[in-house]
Structure 1
Amino acid sequence: MTPVAGTHYLAGPVIAFAVIAGLALFLRWAFRGEPRRRPAADDGLLTRVATLSGRESALALRAVLSDAGIRSTVRATGAHRAEVLVFPEDADRARVLASSFPAG
């Protein structure tokens, strides 16, 4: 049986469209943005020593820690929340200072 005249010209575009559609569906599945699939916040090498009600308070605590020779950083976790993180070897000293900090 012979193919209908002109149908073999449709094979290329149909195959290309099918491949692109398949890739689009795979990428949509692979990169869907479900919150339950996201990993928890990773602190890496740092340890949280305080959670404060504002960035300004966290920066003030960071200055106190810096005066004591403790390296620290601030991470904003919400609109009115900030965490102060330090290296594990300084965590005990930093917690003592944070507990006596008035904004803590």
Structure 2
Amino acid sequence: MPIDAGSLHFLVGPAIALIAIALIGLFLRWAFASESSAPRSREELLTPVATLTRKESALALRAVLSDAGIRSTIREPAAHRADVLVFPEDLDRARALALSFGGK
């Protein structure tokens, strides 16, 4: 059967591939979208509990907080500065422990 030179049948394969890629992209966008497009409120973010001059001191405070069952992390915004951050629900307990911590 001869192929008609004016036919556009050679575009069918690439068109199907482009449509499939677009559908996969839309599915992935839907599947990995966040629960809400609204920005998180300030209450959901980590809160600084102490600012220390040495990272070793911040690690020691973090160990004390961990022993008390408080999740924390360290942020180093500048040289010779380390912030210890906790979740808002643990802030009061963490502050009490940080005040009794002598590793500044």
TM-score, normalising length: structure 1: 0.57
Among the aligned pairs, what percent are the same residue? 73
Q: What is the root-mean-square deviation in Å for CA atoms of aligned residues?
A: 1.5
Secondary structure at the aligned position of 2:76 is classed as strand
Equivalent position of 1:11 in the other structure: none
4+ residue stretches of structure 1 with deviation over 3 A? none
Q: Which runs of 5+ in 2 are unaligned?
A: 1-41
Letter of the 2:101 partner, please give it.
F
- What is the rounded CA distance, in whole Å, between the counterparts of 2:103 and 2:77 in structure 1? 17
- What is the rounded CA distance, in whole Å, between the counterparts of 2:80 and 2:45 in structure 1? 25
The alpha-carbon deviation at position 77 of structure 1 amounts to 1.6
Equivalent position of 1:58 in the other structure: 58
Q: Which runs of 5+ in 1 are unaligned?
A: 1-41
Secondary structure at the aligned position of 2:96 is classed as helix
Equivalent position of 1:94 in the other structure: 94
Letter of the 1:49 partner, please give it.
V
Number of aligned residue pairs: give it.
62
Secondary structure at the aligned position of 1:93 is classed as helix
The alpha-carbon deviation at position 88 of structure 1 amounts to 0.1
